Amino acid sequence: MRFAVVVFPGSNCDADMVHAIEDVLGEEVDYVWHEADDLNDYDAILLPGGFSYGDYLRSGAIARFSPIMNQVKKAAEEGKLVLGVCNGFQILLEAGLLPGAMKRNDNLQFVCSIETIIVENNQTPFTLEYEKGEEIQIPIAHGEGNYYCDERLLEELQANQQIVFRYKRNPNGSVNDIAGIINKQGNVLGMMPHPERAVSELLGSADGKRLFQSILRYWRERYEV
């Protein structure tokens, strides 16, 4: 399986993401600069955390216009897996690949901690290696992680089982304790917690490793590799 890690000006978790794929998962991965115009050679697209374009205007608001995003949308439409973590989640929201919006944390402060995350849906390509209702330890680090949607959209997300992760102790004010959501088609996931920073017990948790293992399992089963 071949992964692309998209790098925007200001990305700072790209190396962590590459480490998770190359050194932990043992699969092929490339850094792909945001000005690239071709993602055809990749099976999964990863948008890492950081501060794309310095988070000017809103987090992800400028990165959504990068040339690579047309290819990310194309890949998503083709059914390829797309994962956006932290700033990557914000970019997916700004680009319209996921519904809802992101606001500043309700305490107006940057939060950095290891949080207990509840797996709400383990029937996605990203969560096959987890149990439904399982509590996992994944770090967060963000200033704008307060996920917002109106009541109508929340009902839709719940009805379609698009809420994949919830916080056990909400650290940012997100509606319904939402930590991660998926699109209706089930191939685009956005989450604020950083699974790439939880791939070894040396880092405080290895619970994020199974997210990447789930991606690989899904791909192998789908293409009978």
User: Which residues does the annotation mark as catalytic?
Assistant: 86, 194, 196
| Structure tokens belonging to residue 72 | 């990310």
Report the candidate in 89, 108, 113 with the shortest Cα–Cα distance to residue 99: 89
3-state secondary structure of 169: coil
In terms of Cα–Cα distance, which of 183, 143, 191, 142 is closest to 166?
A: 191
How far from chain centre, in Å, is Cα 110?
A: 19
What's the CA gap between 99 and 182, in Å, rounded?
A: 9
**Dihedral pair phi/psi, residue 37, rounded to 5°:** -125, 25
Report the alpha-carbon distance of residue 11 to residue 52 in Å, rounded.
Answer: 6
Question: What is the rounded (10 degree) CA torsion for 204, 145, 73, 150?
Answer: 130
